């Protein structure tokens, strides 16, 4: 049974045709995991028992479809570590809203996937456990932070996988592993129960084998959540039926930002994406050049906001109620907290906490955090201006294809540089998707992203869907 590239709809059709039943499919997926995961390291936790229990739900939209979920989602009874040592012993007593909605729809999770610890990175190399390798070439990383999720889907160990994005943590690994990676408008999917990185940027996302699958999952995951004060107050979206009726891109205006197509982008990536844009034109879209703020400002803004919020969000992990507890003899209770955190957190988390504490300090707040928020407003305005002329913006997802393992070692902001094309839309909280547009000479996948207006998930999915279905 070839599991690679299977979509939710295909599996459902196969169930119906009697090609296999959910039990058989699950056992086939488990076999794949047992065979491949010792090398790929996509999973930090296998949850076969729970997957089998989930088969009891036969009527859900996702019943019987093997999937996986990133290790930063709370799921009752499982360790939710965000691939960190400090949370190794934290067992979730509650479900994230995303987890709950998927389980209610019959989701059958075979495991929790590896990530950069606390999602701090773009390669899974900051995971406190292990690095996830790229199924297309095992000398290369799968990307991050949702690297485990991408590797799981790309290798047939999951039909879809739930990731999360703060800058490009869904789109990036999807691009590097040849998948569809979709993150909706900020607030469309609830953040309740997702281990927070940077609250004003975090958003759940999905990694799938088709744009349609992303739309199916969006119908399940969207809809107001009263446990998240930033949740969009709308009912669940209706997308799939409408999407499947679309045949071309006539009348759609697509913006191509100059800054996304310059010499910072690897030539092979640039070429593949440019070809893809011509394909979009062929399908009826009108291509229009747009002008954005230089991405270098975006990196600065993103880094300040990200580090500031992290320093505060990680403060709750103090080893008092849960998490790693140091054995070192402490004189005071504050020393105890310092030892717990000092020994428990990895270097990346510590660096980010220290940078963030600095940028929020009295006397520096105005120069860093406040200034960053002001420039963030400019970036949002930048997009608004562009969206007066165009319906979606298109460009490469990542400036390169997946780098070799070891890339982040000497570059503390490697992730930020790699994410420079995904950070602007993350700062603006815009819906965006990455679709695969080909491979480079080494056989590594290349991704193209489509970014839409606030709340306009449909046009983003439409452009990606028509591209995916068109004859190239």
Between 164 and 222, CB nearer to another protein: 164
In this chain, which of 328, 354, 365, 367 binds another protein, going by CB under 8 A?
365
**377 belongs to the binding site for another protein (CB under 8 A):** no
In this chain, which of 47, 122, 277, 311 binds another protein, going by CB under 8 A?
311
Q: Which residues, 172 to 211, sit near another protein by CB under 8 A? A: 191-196, 198-200
Catalytic residue chosen out of the listed positions 68, 145, 146, 158: 145
70 assigned to active site: yes
242 assigned to active site: no
> Would you give the binding string for another protein spanning residues 86-105, x where CB under 8 A is met?
-x--x-xxx-x---------
Catalytic residue chosen out of the listed positions 123, 158, 169, 210: 169
Between 82 and 450, CB nearer to another protein: 82
Q: How far is the CB of 429 from another protein (least distance, A)?
A: 12
Count of residues touching another protein (by CB under 8 A): 46
35 assigned to active site: no
**354 belongs to the binding site for another protein (CB under 8 A):** no
Between 231 and 459, CB nearer to another protein: 231
Q: How far is the CB of 171 from another protein (least distance, A)?
A: 22
Q: Which residues, 211 to 270, sit near another protein by CB under 8 A? A: 226-230
Residues with Cβ within 8 Å of 241's Cβ and at least 6 positions away in sequence, in order, are none
* CA distances for 146 relative to 13, 117, 168, 344, angstroms: 28, 10, 9, 22
Binding site for another protein (CB under 8 A): 72-74, 80, 82, 87, 90, 92-94, 96, 191-196, 198-200, 226-230, 308-309, 311-312, 314-318, 320-322, 333-334, 337, 357, 360-362, 365, 369
């Amino acid at each position: 049974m070839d599991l690679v590239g299977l979509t939710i709809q295909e599996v459902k059709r196969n169930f119906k045709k009697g090609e296999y039943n959910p039990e058989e499919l699950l056992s086939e997926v488990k076999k794949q995991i047992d065979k491949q995961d010792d090398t790929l390291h996509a999973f930090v936790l296998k949850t076969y028992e729970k997957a089998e229990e989930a088969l009891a739900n036969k009527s859900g939209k996702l019943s019987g479809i093997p999937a996986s979920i990133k290790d930063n989602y709370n799921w009752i009874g499982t360790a939710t570590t965000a691939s960190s040592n400090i949370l190794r012993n934290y067992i979730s007593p509650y479900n994230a809203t995303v987890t709950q909605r998927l389980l209610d729809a019959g989701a059958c999770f075979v495991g929790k996937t590896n990530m950069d610890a606390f999602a701090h990175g773009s390669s899974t190399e900051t995971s406190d456990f292990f690095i996830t390798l790229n199924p297309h070439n095992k000398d290369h990383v799968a990307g991050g932070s949702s690297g485990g999720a991408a590797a799981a889907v790309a290798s047939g160990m999951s039909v879809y996988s739930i990731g999360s994005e703060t800058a490009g943590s869904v789109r990036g690994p999807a691009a590097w592993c040849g998948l569809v990676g979709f993150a909706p408008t900020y607030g469309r999917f609830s953040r309740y129960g997702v281990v927070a990185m940077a609250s004003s940027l975090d958003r759940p996302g999905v990694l799938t084998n088709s744009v349609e699958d992303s739309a199916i999952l969006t119908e399940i995951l969207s809809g107001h959540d009263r446990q998240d004060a930033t949740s969009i107050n709308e009912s669940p979206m209706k997308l799939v039926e409408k999407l499947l009726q679309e045949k071309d891109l006539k009348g759609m205006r697509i913006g191509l930002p100059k800054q996304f197509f310059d010499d910072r982008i690897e030539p092979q990536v640039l070429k593949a994406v440019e070809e893809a844009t011509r394909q979009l034109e062929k399908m009826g879209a009108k291509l229009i050049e747009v002008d954005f703020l230089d991405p270098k400002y975006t990196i600065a803004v993103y880094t300040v906001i990200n580090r500031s919020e992290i320093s505060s969000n990680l403060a709750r992990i103090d080893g008092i109620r849960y998490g790693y507890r140091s054995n070192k003899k402490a004189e005071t209770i504050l020393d105890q907290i310092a030892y717990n955190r000092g020994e428990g957190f990895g270097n990346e988390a510590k660096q980010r906490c220290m940078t963030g504490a600095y940028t929020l300090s009295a006397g520096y707040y105005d120069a860093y955090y406040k200034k960053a928020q002001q420039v963030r407003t400019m970036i949002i305005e930048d997009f608004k201006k562009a969206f007066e002329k165009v319906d979606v913006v298109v460009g490469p997802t990542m400036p390169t294809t997946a780098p070799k393992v070891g890339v982040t070692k000497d570059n503390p902001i490697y992730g930020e540089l790699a994410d420079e094309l995904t950070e602007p839309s993350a700062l603006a909280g815009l819906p965006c998707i990455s679709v695969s547009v080909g491979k480079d000479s080494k056989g590594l996948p290349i991704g193209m992203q489509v970014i839409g207006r606030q709340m306009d998930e449909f046009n983003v999915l439409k452009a990606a869907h028509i591209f995916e279905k068109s004859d190239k």
